[in-house]
Amino acid sequence: MQSHQFTQEHDLQLFSNLISNKINKGFILEERNDELLFAVLSKGGRVIDHSFNFIIFIFTLGLWSVAWLYLTLEYSKPKKILVAIDEEGIPFEDKCFVA
C-alpha cells in the first residue's frame, strides 16, 4: 500500500514537471486532470511577416516561395497537445487535431 501511494506521488510530480516544461516553451494549459493524469495544452500559431517574405521572394527570384509556403501553412496553425502518464507510469505526448 505504501509503495502504491509513493508511485502515485511520483507520477503526479512527474506529470507536474511535464506541464511546467511545456508552459515554459510557450504552451497554455487548457485542461488538467490530476486523477487521470492528463492535460491538454495549446499554443497559438506564429505570425508570419508576409512583407518581409515577399522581399526575400523578389531577391531570390521566386525560390523563396517554397519556404514561404511552408512557413505559412505549418507555423501559422495553432497547436494542441495531450500530455499524460499511462498506467505504467510512462509519460507520453500526443498531438490533438484542431478542426
> pTM (2 decimals)?
0.69
φ/ψ of 76, rounded to 5, equals: -85, -5
Q: Edge-to-edge strands of the sheet including 38-43?
A: 28-33, 38-43, 79-85, 91-96
Q: Could you read off the pLDDT of 12-44 as tens digits, one per residue?
A: 899 999 999 999 999 999 999 988 899 999 998
Q: Could you read off the pLDDT of 75-93 as tens digits, one per residue?
A: 888 889 999 998 888 899 9
Residue whose C-alpha cell reads 486532470 in the numeric block: 33
The torsion angle over the Cα atoms of residues 44, 48, 49 and 55, rounded to 10 degrees, is 170
Please list, residue by residue across 57-86, b when 16 or more beta carbons sit within 10 angstroms of its beta carbon and e when fewer do.
beeeeeebeeebeebeeeeeeeebeebbbe
